[in-house]
Amino acid sequence: PANAIQPLRLLLIGCPGSGKGTQSSRLEKNFGVAHLSSGDLLRRNITEQTALGQQAQQYVADGKLVPDDLLVSLIDSELLNVGNANWLLDGFPRTISQAEALDATLNKLMQPLNLVINLQVPEDVILQRIMDRWIHIPSGRVYNLSYNPPRVPGLDDVTGEPLSKRPDDTPEVFKVRLDQHHAMATPLLDHYHDVVVNVKGNTSDEIYPQIESEIVNRLGVLPGSMPEAF
Ligand code: ATP
Ligand code: MG
């Protein structure tokens, strides 16, 4: 039946600072999706100075796209790791060539994407957010000094480890990332046009309920009700 429960195979698209990480944490908690964030994976690899991290770090520092082949193999292996679970992609794919590689992998796994969520946040609120943003690199948890501060200043709520500023969260690099996002968003949204939904707002609190109701209405899944695997 059309309203049968479907597994969650989600993609979040939105400009830098639009709240992809924040929405992902909520979806992870409420729907049990595995959160696969290309940016978080790259930052962890850079911190640990893995071979991938060393190849990627200059691109990330400059706000430029890391070459497709590095990203494609990174995400392929993450998708194999999560197996048949429900998952959410954040930050990948970012180019049509990445999207085509992903589609091929998902066809093989028989796990096609079934919802692409396009976060629309006005640009004037985003730069301030980026300036106020601190992250916990190992987990990717995001804090904002104005509206989502850590319980203890400078420390992650869960582990107590120190928070960092992202070196690419400067006004100059932010501008490069924003231009980069605008260049890729339209072709990518076209590529996935039959599964895209737009959600809009000034804050993550305004947007999250819209995402939840799209999941409920389109995929028949209620928060807290998700089976672990399909
Ligand atoms: P935010 O985390 O603020 O929502 P963002 O989209 O700018 O925004 P990340 O997704 O964390 O940030 O990506 C950080 C950097 O990692 C990018 O600027 C780019 O250098 C690299 N990167 C991440 N994903 C990809 C990708 N799919 N293809 C190429 N490079 C990527
Ligand atoms: Mg992010």
For 87, other C-beta atoms within 10 Å of its C-beta total: 22
Distance 38 CA to ligand 1 centre (A): 7
Q: Which residues line ligand 1 (CB under 6 A)?
A: 16-18, 20-21, 38-39, 42, 59-60, 63-66, 71, 91-94, 98, 168, 177
d(CA 92, CA 99): 8
Per-residue pLDDT of the chain (230 residues; tens, 9 = 90+): 445 678 899 999 999 999 999 999 999 999 999 999 999 999 999 999 999 999 999 999 999 999 999 999 999 999 999 987 899 999 999 999 999 999 999 999 999 999 999 999 998 889 889 999 999 999 999 999 988 999 999 999 999 999 999 999 999 999 999 999 999 999 999 999 999 999 999 999 999 999 999 999 999 888 887 655 55
d(CA 107, CA 112): 6
13, 35, 42, best to mutate for ligand 1 pocket (most atoms within 8 Å of CB): 42
**Could you tell me the pTM of the whole model?**
0.91
Q: What is the ipTM of this complex?
A: 0.94
Shortest-distance atom of ligand 1 to CA 94: 27
User: How many whole angstroms from its chain centre is CA 112?
Assistant: 17
d(CA 67, CA 169): 21
For residue 39 the two structure tokens come to 């940016």
